[in-house]
Structures are given as structure tokens and as C-alpha cells.
Structure 1
């Protein structure tokens, strides 16, 4: 008679799915930031075309957000997204205080670290790249070492 699975095993077995859902939500939020900046939607005024750095950042946010959402070129898009969020934090927010709660930079910090996680963890489940096997599989639970006979 087998014992019921432990909670840790159950959670570990769902890591790719939860990582995929995290990637999708992060991609939607980032793409919506970019769309609001470029097209002036969601109660935001559009940045003028070519306005440095805001319009360019909006284009990158929109494009990378869509790539991350779909799970295509996830690691590269996440790396670029993490970098522009770090740039945004240090150039636009940190001058108003060290901590994100002081300077209004909470969103860039969370985006930066969320995307950095995807750089290392990969797209997880539910990605288009996973359907075509173009990105390496994400986390797999480590198997315990096997005993060998003497």
C-alpha cells in the first residue's frame, strides 16, 4: 500500500505550471504598461514617438511583454525587460529616495526581479516554445542518489 504524496512533492510537481502562470501574468502586465505608453490607453497619455527614453521603453515593454506572455524567446525577452526596469529604477526613481516605497519605484523593482527569475527559471509550462521544444525544459525535481551494490 503506497502512502499519500507529501505536500513538498505535490508542490514540486506543479512548479512548471505555476511558473507558466507567473510568466503569463507578468507578460500581460508588462505588455499593458507598454501599450499604455505607446498608444495612450488605460487612462494614460501616449508618449510622443521617439521621446527618449519613455517611448522606446514602451515599445520594448510591449514587445517583450508579448514574447514573455506567449513563452517565445522568454529568457532573452526577460533579460532585456529586467535590464530596462533596473535602468528605469535607477534613472527615474532612486533620485527621489533609496527605497521603492519612498520613490514610487515599486513596480519597476518587482518587474525587474520577476523577469530576472524567468531568465534563470525559463518559461515553465503553457509556452509556445515548449510546444516546439525550442527552449530547454524548466525545473525538474532532483532524484535522490541511488545506492550501488558493493
Structure 2
């Protein structure tokens, strides 16, 4: 089997797993599930800047990327929020991600940038809708 045959499915799975993990991170912070905010078992306070808003972005953008709908927009917003998190929260604690606790923010930032550039792929709601629309269009719709 040629490695190129795996490109589409692997990229789709990468998008879905990254979106799912980001969604779960947001859900844990917003609702106190999966161990809660930073493992405390509690949810962040409603509308508190930036933690509640970051969690909302994580939940919504994670869901969009996971489903493959408005994927590029969701991925750009997620990537930007993680860049903000890295430079505003982690980088002042130290130069390197290993010492400032910013590895997750840095990895998510670059992962979502990759998703934004490559798009949702074939295994996405966007692609499914596109396939349905093209199947419903009459083939003789070409101008004479």
C-alpha cells in the first residue's frame, strides 16, 4: 500500500481527534466534566475574561473542526486563541514551552493552523453536503 493512499484518511482523523480533544478541554472548563478546569473538578466562572471565553472558543471551535463544518474558520479562531494563550499566559513565565507550561497551547496553535490550511478533507460534513448537492444537480444543466 502506498503511503499517499493514507493521506486523506490520516488527515481527516487528525482533524477529528484534534477537534474532539479541544472540545473536551472546553467542556471540562465550562461544565466541570472530565476532571473540570485544570483538573480541579470545577467549572470556570461565567463570562470571566479570559478563561470562560477561551473555554467557549475551545468548545465551539472543537465541535466545528470535529464535524468538519466551517472548518477553516473554526481552525483559524482556535489557532489564534492558542497563540494568544501562549504569548499572554505562558510566555511571560519563561522563554521555552517546556519551562513555561505552554506546550499544549503551542501544539494546538500549530495543529489548528495545519487544519486551516489543509481544510476539512473528504470525511467532513462540508464534503458530504457538497457531494449531496452535486448528486442532486441535473447533469444536463450545462449551457447550450
The interval holding the TM-score normalised by the smaller chain is: 0.7 to 0.9
Q: TM-score, normalised by structure 1?
A: 0.81
RMSD: 1.2
Q: Which has the higher helix share?
A: 2
Q: Cα deviation per residue 1:101-133 (whole Å; 9 max; x = unaligned)? A: 010000000000000001110112311111012
Gaps of 5+ in 1: 1-6, 135-150
Larger relative CO (CA 8 A, sep 6+): 1 or 2? 1
Structure with max Cα Rg: 1
1:40-79 CA distances to partner (integer Å, 9 max, x unpaired)?
Answer: 1111221100100000110110000000000001100000
Corresponding residue of 1:97: 94
Q: Say whether 1:68 aligns with 2:68.
A: no
Q: How does 1:90-129 map to 2 (within 5 A)?
A: 90-129=87-126
Name the residue aligned to 2:45: 48
Gap regions ≥5 residues in structure 2: 37-41, 132-144
Q: How many residues align?
A: 126
Match of 2:142 in 1: none
Counterpart-to-counterpart distance in 2, 1:22 and 1:133 = 21
Deviating beyond 3 angstroms after TM superposition, the runs of 4 or more aligned structure 1 residues are: none
CA shift digits 1:2-40 (9 cap, x unpaired): xxxxx6xx1112211110000010011000010011101
CA distance in 2, matches of 1:36, 1:46: 7
55-64 or 11-20, larger mean C-alpha shift: 11-20
TM-score, length-scaled by structure 2 = 0.84
2:31 & 2:56 partners in 1: Cα distance?
A: 10
